[in-house]
Structure 1
Amino acid sequence: MTTVRDSEDFSPALRATMVNDLRAMGAITSDRVAHAVSTVPRHRFVPDQPLEAVYAADHAVVIKRDDQGTATSSLSSAHIQSVMLEQAEITPGMRVLEIGSGGYNAALIAELVGDDGAVVSVDIDPQIADRARACLNSVGYERVKVVVGDAEHGVPGEDAFDRIIVTAGAWDIPPAWRTQLAPAGRLVVPLRLKGITRSIAFETEGEELTSVSYRLSGFVPMQGDGQHHERVYPVGDHGSWGLRTDDDTFDIAASELRAALERPRLEQPSGTVFDLPDELELFLLASHPQMMMLHARPTLIEQRAFAASAGRGVPALVRGGSFAYRTKRENADVGGFETVVIAHGPAAEQVAAEYLGLLRCWARDHRRRGAATIRYIPVGHLAPTDGAISKRHGTVAITWH
């Protein structure tokens, strides 16, 4: 195992390998981001960690945990950092605000904006901000400005930014971010939507924000005035299975759902190929108001009470004491794997039929990457009622093409 003490001999080669891996994964698509990742010594921001872990393309490192052991700050994987930098399309001379400090990502941004640009990194935790400041100074990025504050309210005294990059899971988009975003600017934010997170690159369109890209992502949640706790509804005994969302309006009939699981399950093949699971997941959750994320413990998967998809988390349509979710099974006739619907409860046939309808709509009309347009409509502006996800400061509306 190579440690940080040996870094001067090994880190350039490890950085080059990481860049090659990130290119192969599609996370890096431009020479500018590749150069930044090749230049910044990632290991200097997580001393005492094995270099093989630090320079693994898809490995995050926890920096700080709270008293309950929950991660409150981490060095995100190089994969998602590269994806978000590509989404941001940063060019030399830009002013960039990073919300959530760790040091390493700010150094990458500093490489991208160059000497004529400016980088401000804000964090609510003084300890994390101090740590980021020390790490940045140690590798020559003194020009990055590190600020302590609650980013829900923006960064007072700063001019507008060409780019705002959020490196914490945000449930909402506060007005301060839109106010501090330059008219032709771009906001890249890991936005939480009904129990999942997508890194969305938004640009302004009048008073609204409209997506130009979105990618699968996951981050520690935002702290401070902008925090919002996900709702977890335990259903099985001792939390063996349950439902997760960040919508406060659901009324879960837990006892009826427990009883539903004891009934024989209904399995319905969809006749559609199973692929692009992250796109399908977003479509399902955004297309029905009673979709939630279903999670089951491994023991229930092993006992075959649930299909394997429930162990990773799967969109489930829940109505009263009945529910339906999807899994996959091999079927050479559709080209590999077919999507299958599993339903339980007295209304199993009805919820399965609705779920099948959504799957077939997806397969027929939207089965590709980037088929969604995600809009953020601030409070006070007319928002759609169908397919809308309500937030504190506005509404998320997702349309499919």
Structure 2
Amino acid sequence: MTTADSIADSDEASRARQEMVDKLVASGMITSGDVERAFRTVPREVFMPEGTDLAAAYNPDDAVAAKRDEHGRIISSLSAPFIQARMIEQAELAPGMSVLEIGSGGLNAALIAEVVGPGGRVVSVDIDPDITTNAGAALDAAGYGGRVEVLLADAEHPVPDLDEVDAVIVTVGAWDIPPAWTGPLAPDGRLVVPLRMNNVTRSIAFGRVGDHLESTSLEVCGFVPMQGDGEHHERVFELPDPRGGAVKLQFDVTPKDLSPLDGVLAKPRTELRSGVDIPRGVSFADLHLWFASFLPGFCRVAAGEGTELAEERRWFPFGTVADDGSFAYLAIGPTLEGIGDEFLARGWGEGDAGPALVAQIQAWADAGRPQPDSVAFWPNGGDRDLPKGAVVLEKRHGLVTISWPAAP
């Protein structure tokens, strides 16, 4: 490549970077000057896998796969710019702060380093040697090698020689919050973690309140799951489709007996209307967390190739099963009046699953389509004055509570 080519590539990347940041600022994903400056400065393209074009590197809404396993599943990725921005904002970073990042890739650590400045400290930890090697090389190439310490370690356990930090930012999907993350956190520090709560993930910023953590903000997100000793496997149950393939149901809390579901996809199709409309341009992601909180038999749904469900449109990967062997999932369709759309419960088997799903859609709407008031984490071994009426989820290292402004 000639010098002229290098200059042209640099100019094109700079234009793509500024356009991306303009969009993130306009959409409210970036709200602080320090974060905006970091995103306008760090060259994302340097951290991308070989062959990644600039359009993908600077797409504000999409992650880029960094590594796949032998089955082709993504096990490490460079997060989408919008969620990187939101999580750094959630951490309330400032110049001079010390930050522990769980899950490396180099790019997010460089952004953090820009925000905390030369007087700050950034330690980035990952369990995969390929990822730490690539992250270190990219940080060196981008000029951040002396400002970020990259360590190979399983962050379920305490990071050696780590002093007190002002923030811990977790960039992998976590099912639990181990003491290794809260131990080094300053009394007024922030823990930002994509926490899985009954199969639904939110990036939650936690602050200390007495002997537990309470949320200060929640953001919709999705992350590849944690590896190592902190890994958690949900149970997957397959429903064979008579046409071939299978629909997979993923449970965090598994019903006692799934045998009544045998052959359910060969039963009659069902569809129930909820009467709850869907305003255009308004997110209903909080409905998914409501399901995770209150819907019995709740599960995530994945349609394999060749299944009838895989060919269907306008449905979402959230459903429920009932003891009578029926199965229903969330879908949308035109209202009876033909004006706009409404939520539907589609499925198989004429039983309780569809009515249960519709009942929770209606309960959420009747409650004013709320967001959670707060999410809290109560570590093992402490006093637990749990909030009245909160949903309680058991974890290995403690309890998670979800408090809603109204509950069914």
> Structure 2-normalised TM-score?
0.87
> What do residues 249-296 of structure 1 show as CA deviations (whole Å, max 9, x unaligned)?
433524x32444333344332221235331101111111342112232
Cα separation, 1, equivalents of 2:223 and 2:141: 26
Instruction: Note the alpha carbon deviations across 1:289-337, whole angstroms, 9 max, x for none.
Output: 4211223236434687x6641xx41232433412333321122869722
Q: What amino acid does structure 2 have at the position aligned with 1:186?
A: R
Instruction: After TM superposition, give the deviation of residue 104 of structure 1 in Å.
Output: 0.8
Q: Secondary structure at the match of 1:151?
A: coil
Q: Work out which of the residue numbers 249, 252, 260 in structure 2 matches 1:246.
A: 252
Task: Give aligned-pair identity as a percent.
Answer: 43
**Residues 1:102 and 1:134: Cα distance change in structure 2 (over 3 Å):** same
Match of residue 148, structure 1, among 140, 146, 152: 152
Give the partner amino acid of 1:292. Answer: C
Letter in 1 for 2:252: D
Structure 1 residue corresponding to 2:112, chosen from 109, 112, 116: 109
What's 1:278 paired with? 285
Bigger proportion of residues as helix: 1
User: Which residue in 2 is equivalent to 1:84?
Assistant: 87
Unaligned runs of 5+ in 2: none
- Post-superposition Cα deviations, 1:116-143, rounded to whole Å, max 9, x if no partner, equal 2111111112232122122112222112
Structure 1 pair 129/333, CA: closer, same or farther in 2 (3 Å)?
A: same
Q: Is the 2:207–2:213 contact (alpha carbons within 8 Å) kept by the matching residues of 1?
A: yes
Residue 139 to residue 302, structure 1, CA distance change in 2 (3 Å):
closer
Partner of 1:166: 170
**Alignment check: 8 A CA contact 1:199 1:216 kept:** yes
Letter in 2 for 1:222: M
Is contact 2:295–2:356 with CA below 8 Å preserved after alignment? Answer: no
- Higher deviation after alignment, 166-175 or 73-82: 73-82
Pick the aligned partner of 1:399 from 384, 398, 403. 403
2:182 corresponding residue in structure 1 = 178
Unaligned runs of 5+ in 1: none
Question: Relative to structure 2, which stretch is displaced further, 379-388 or 256-265?
Answer: 379-388
C-alpha distance in 2 between matches for 1:4 and 1:214:
41
TM-score by length of 1: 0.89
Pick from 326, 332, 342: which aligns with 1:338? 342
- Contact persistence 2:240–2:265 (CA under 8 A): no
Cα distance in 2 for residues equivalent to 1:303 and 1:103:
36
Code of the residue aligned with 1:171 in structure 2: it is W
User: Which of 215-224 and 352-361 deviates more?
Assistant: 352-361
Shift of the alpha carbon at 1:244?
0.7
Tell whether the 8 Å contact from 1:291 to 1:318 is kept in structure 2 after alignment: no
Q: Which amino acid aligns with 2:152?
A: V
Mapped to 2, the partners of 1:52 and 1:64 lie a distance apart of 19
Residues 172-209 of structure 1 show CA distances to partners (whole Å, capped at 9, x for unaligned) of 11011111111111111111222232111111112211
Q: CA deviation at 1:245?
A: 2.3
Cα distance, 1:43 vs. partner?
Answer: 0.6
**2:45 equivalent in structure 1:** 43
How has the CA–CA distance of structure 1 residues 361 and 303 changed in structure 2, closer, same or farther, with 3 Å as cutoff?
Answer: closer
For 1:319, what is the secondary structure of its paired residue? coil
Q: 1:68 to 1:295 in 2, by over 3 A?
A: closer
Distance change in 2, residues 1:267/1:97 (3 Å): same
RMSD of aligned C-alpha atoms?
A: 2.6
The match for 2:205 is 201
8 Å CA contact retained: 1:233, 1:252: no
SS in 2 for 1:22: helix
In structure 1, what is the equivalent of residue 379 of structure 2? 378
Alignment of 1:216 with 2:220, yes or no, is yes
Question: Match for 1:296 among 292, 303, 307?
Answer: 303
Matches within 5 A, 1:226-375: 226-237=230-241, 239-247=245-253, 249-254=254-259, 256-274=260-278, 276-297=283-304, 299-301=306-308, 308-309=314-315, 312-331=316-335, 336-346=340-350, 348=351, 350-368=352-370, 370-375=371-376
Q: Distance in 2 between matches of 1:157 and 1:321?
A: 54
Count of matched residue positions in the alignment of Structure 1 and Structure 2 = 391
Q: CA deviation at 1:85?
A: 1.2
Partner SS for 1:294: strand
1:399 CA drift (Å): 1.4
**CA 1:209/1:335 → structure 2, altered by over 3 Å: closer, same or farther?**
farther
